[in-house]
Structures are given as structure tokens and as C-alpha cells.
Amino acid sequence: MTEIEKGFFPLTEVQDENIEGIRISLNLPEWIDQDRIGVSLRGIYKMCQMGGIETIKILGSTDGEVSTYTPNLVGINPDGAGIAGKVGLKTEAPLFSSSKDISGNALPASYSWINATIDVNLREIDCRISERKDKSLRSAANWTKYLNQALQGGIAKEGTRHLIKDIPLTDKVRMAFAPGITLAINFDLLRDPPTGPIIFAAIVEGCYLGYQFLDRLHYHSLNKKQRLSLICGPQIDRALALKIMSKTERLIKELKNTGRGIRLTNKE
């Protein structure tokens, strides 16, 4: 994959384009100045690579649920109607929904990549902006805050789920038996001679490691991309790194200048 230029691109330049596996079709209302909404393609790409996401679609949805507020009743008036109090229960709708499918069948965990889709809940963003002190739905700044949160959350959710849960059976078997086999081998090597079951366990472990080595040679020869990790099985280290990136990597922000072709640096 080629190097993606740093900076923020106006949404009007990247909308409905397929750029290095990233497709954005937010379809925001026409009365929003979309030249002022900046998208960090490099930031999206970096988070996707960390989470094992090969391609991603970012769509705008107008069919999502919206937050609801139910006031508490504090009494009943003479007409029999309830009297609402100042405090109530707010049920907040999510800013996004997401889904994925795995690219490639039965691949080892480190070679398995997914195709993710994030549906941004435009109705809920509209609702939250309306509750702000600055209720302008035309303001790009009001939209960028929630669009950024939706993208960060969606990529982190699908990436983390893939890194932790999409583990093939062979890796699960090794995770279940490897610690006990290793401990038994190390303990029994102190004895002279080693017992039969331990010798068998050592052979099984050696065969598995040999299989893993040949497996990686095979997938490298097919030019399959591998995600490096310090941990066998669930790539917890990458999941933690992705979680941090979802809090620190800005993906959407307001552009202070106007006009097409603007590319701002990542500096805030």
C-alpha cells in the first residue's frame, strides 16, 4: 500500500472516492459547509492497520435511533395529569453502528484481516447538536466533534474485536495446552531420564512449532500481510495500542480555511 499524505483533506475531496481501501460516503446535509470538514486519511489508515482492518467503508445513516429523555413524575395536578420533575432518565443512542466480514478463510490470526463498515448515526448527531448552547446545525465545528468520535469508536470496536476474538482453532489449541506442556517439559528435564508422556509432549510441541514456521513461510510466499505482535493468539498488545489511538488520533476536525485543495498539517 502506498504512503498516504499527512494532513486533513476537505470532505468534498474524499467523498465517494476509494482511497487505499478507505471509502467515505457520509452524505451530510447540503447546508453544511463540507469544505470545512477535514478528514485525516492517514489517521484512519494507521488505526485500521493496527486493528487488522484491510478495507473500511464509512457511511452516513439517517435511520438510526436518537436519544430519549423521560422525566420523573413528582406529583399529580388536580386534573389528574402527572407533574414532571427537573430530573429524569436519559437514554443515549450510539453515534455509530459497525459490522465486519473476514478477508480470507481459516488464515492464522496474524494473517487474518477484515473488511469493516461503520454507519454514522446522523440523526443522533443532529439531536446532540440541537441540545448544545450553540445549536447551529450549519456549523461544521459542531459536526466534526461527533463525526470524529464515531470514526474513532467504530474503528476501535471492530479492530479490537478482531484482534481478540477472531482466533483460529489451531491457535486456540496451542493457547490451551502450551503453558502446561512447557511447564511439564521444564520440570521433567530435571529428572533423569525424562518420562514417556513428557517426551511425547515435547514432540507434539516441536511439531507444532515446525508447522507454524512452515505456515509462515507459505503465507509469506503468497505475499500475505502479517501483523506483528508480542503475543501468540489474541493480539492484546495491538488491541491496547488501538485503544490508545482511539483517544489520541484525531480523524476529523474543522478546517479554518476554505476552498478546495487545502491540506493542513496534523498540528493543532
* Residue from 114, 120, 119 nearest 55 by CA: 114
pLDDT band at 264 (very low <50, low <70, confident <90, very high): very low
pLDDT digits (tens, 9 = 90+) for 147-199: 999 999 999 999 999 999 887 766 666 655 555 555 555 555 545 555 555 56
d(CA 133, CA 192) in angstroms, rounded, equals 78
> What pLDDT score was predicted for residue 195?
57
Residue 192 pLDDT? 56
Q: What percent of the chain has pLDDT over 70?
A: 63
Instruction: Give the residue with greater pLDDT, 90 vs 116.
Output: 116
Which residues are 34's β-sheet partners? Answer: none
pTM: 0.75
Question: Which of 74-83, 94-103, 109-118 has the weakest average pLDDT?
Answer: 74-83
| Range name among 66-80, 99-113, 198-212 with the lowest pLDDT average | 198-212
pLDDT at 130 over 80: yes
Average pLDDT, the chain: 78
Confidence of residue 221 (pLDDT cuts 50, 70, 90): low
**Adjacency order of strands within the sheet including 18-19:** 18-19, 22-25, 53-61, 113-121, 96-103
Amino acid letter at 17? E
- Three-state DSSP at 39 gives strand
Listed in sequence order, the DSSP H helices in the chain are 11-14, 41-51, 122-130, 140-165, 169-188, 196-221, 236-248
Residue 251: all three cell numbers together:
480523524
- What is the amino acid identity at position 46? K
